[in-house]
Amino acid sequence: MTVTDRFLKYISFDTQSDENATTTPSTEKQMLLAQALKAECESLGLTEISLDENAYLMATLPPSPSTVDPVPVIGFIAHLDTSPDMSGANVKPGIVENYDGKNIVLNETENIILSPKMFPELLEHVGEDIIVTDGTTLLGADDKAGIAEIMTAIQYLINHPEIKHGKIRIAFNPDEEIGLGASKFDVEKFSCDWAYTMDGGEVGELEYENFNAAAAKVKIKGLNVHPGYAKDKMRNAGLIAMQFAGMLPPQERPEHTAGYEGFFHLTGMKSTVEEAELSYIVRDHDAAKFERRLKQLEEITRYLNTVYPDAIQLEIKQQYRNMREIVEPHKHIIDLAINAMKEAGVTPIVRPIRGGTDGAQLSFKGLPCPNIFAGGLNFHGRYEWVPVQSMEKAVQVIVNIIKLNR
């Protein structure tokens, strides 16, 4: 089975996670994919296969019989879920063969077009075979491309016993998209010296720095009075919410930032006169700046509560931290990935993640875990796409890492 065959099979599973759930996995449908992958691991003859009640699947490719000298145990990890931002149900993929650099019509009826004017990175993949959606769902390359690449690499090693290798561990986990992918990941059970998440974007990406991250909810209590008699009585929660949002610096939103710059991102809002709620994610690579951002939210809350007594409640939930401080002392695992990419004809692009990865939390749980490209682009929306050739390169990189680990 090719990496493309696997990918198309996996995206047929709707595995969208739910940030409002209190269970793990946050949606039972993630378990369905985990069970299918468990069966596939069994059919490949892998060992130490385990699938727990929380949808964490682990398996082992045993070392080559002739391996005598101790070889570090490496793991490869990808996540089962797709983003809550857009439906992942009934994905209808299409393959644009030998892409010619022009507009790709995803959905003629709804006039949904994937255009190089809007997404110029398309032009870097002219001549390749691009998998797209029909514009009504996301594709699911984040991170089913990663799953397909890991499984295909394992099959390749099984089919080529002449490639000598140590023990390889693989794992697939739920709920990465809602920041909980590593929350119940048993690092001790996984038992690796280090690992890589296959969860990056463009070919060549290699990341061991990520945002410090938190989620914030601003809950506002208003007072509704008949508008004809509201003078000096009404307290409009929706307007207070607008005032709160307006006190954050507009230049520090995602659409105005890049590189190491952090941001406040308003991800949702709902309001009536009586009640309002703002949902934010807060991000910064620099730990001190990150803490200042959280204090800024607290200061705005305190100020507005003096204007509108006890109207605002702020809830901050820490999500993950920058893994650089954990991974950097183990620079050899970065060098190994760089060399594996070069042997695959891939130019390494080492840069910070403008987002998060399970690898960040896993690193702080004792498993150094950089992030490697999976090849997909425009995640979390209808314009998501992945070149077949990018997934094939990712498979080569995994195999090369394993070959070079001596």
Tell me the DSSP string of 293-339: HHHHHHHHHHHHHHHTTT-EEEEEEEEE--THHHHGGGHHHHHHHHH
CB 80 within 8 A of CB 174: yes
CATH domain 212-320 topology = Alpha-Beta Plaits (3.30.70)
Cβ contacts of residue 207 below 8 Å, gap of 6+? 200, 350, 351, 352, 353, 357, 370, 371, 372
Q: Residue 63 has what DSSP assignment?
A: P
Q: Residue 254 has what DSSP assignment?
A: G
CA neighbor of 197 nearest in space, from 189, 207, 188:
207
Half-sphere exposure of 302 (CA within 13 A, CB side): 6
371 sits in which H/E element: strand 371-373
Residue 379, token pair as written in the block:
């995640």
Q: What pLDDT does residue 356 have?
A: 73
Q: Residue 123 has what DSSP assignment?
A: G
Active-site position among 81, 134, 177, 205: 81
Burial class (CB in 10 A: 0-12, 13-18, 19+), 233: exposed
Q: What pLDDT does residue 1 have?
A: 93
Annotate 151-217 with DSSP letters as a single string.
HHHHHHHHH-TTS----EEEEEES-GGGT-TTTT--HHHH--SEEEEEEE-STTEEE----EEEEEE
Give the start-to-end residue ranges of the domains of the chain: 3-210+322-404, 212-320
Annotate 7-31 with DSSP letters as a single string.
HHHHTTS--B--TT--SSSSSTHHH
Cα torsion angle, 164, 168, 172, 176, sign: negative
If you search the block for the tokens 């699947």, which residue do you land on? 57
If you search the block for the tokens 């709620």, which residue do you land on? 277
Q: What pLDDT does residue 207 have?
A: 93
Torsion of CA 46, 76, 340, 342, to 10 degrees: 130
Q: Can you state the angle between helices 141-159 and 29-44, rounded to 10 degrees?
A: 10
3 state SS of 262: coil
Residue 231, token pair as written in the block:
């003078």
- Positions in the chain short of pLDDT 50: none
If you search the block for the tokens 């490697």, which residue do you land on? 372
Question: Which pTM value belongs to this model?
Answer: 0.85
Q: What angle do CA 270, 276, 282 make, to 5 degrees?
A: 75
CB 287 within 8 A of CB 264: no
Q: What pLDDT does residue 355 have?
A: 77
Q: What pLDDT does residue 319 have?
A: 83
Establish whether 81 is a catalytic residue. yes
Q: What pLDDT does residue 68 have?
A: 60
3 state SS of 342: helix
Residue type, 374: A
Establish whether 149 is a catalytic residue. no
Active-site position among 176, 199, 207, 358: 176
Residue 290, token pair as written in the block:
């990150």
At the top level of CATH, which class does the domain 3-210+322-404 belong to? alpha beta
Q: What pLDDT does residue 15 have?
A: 98
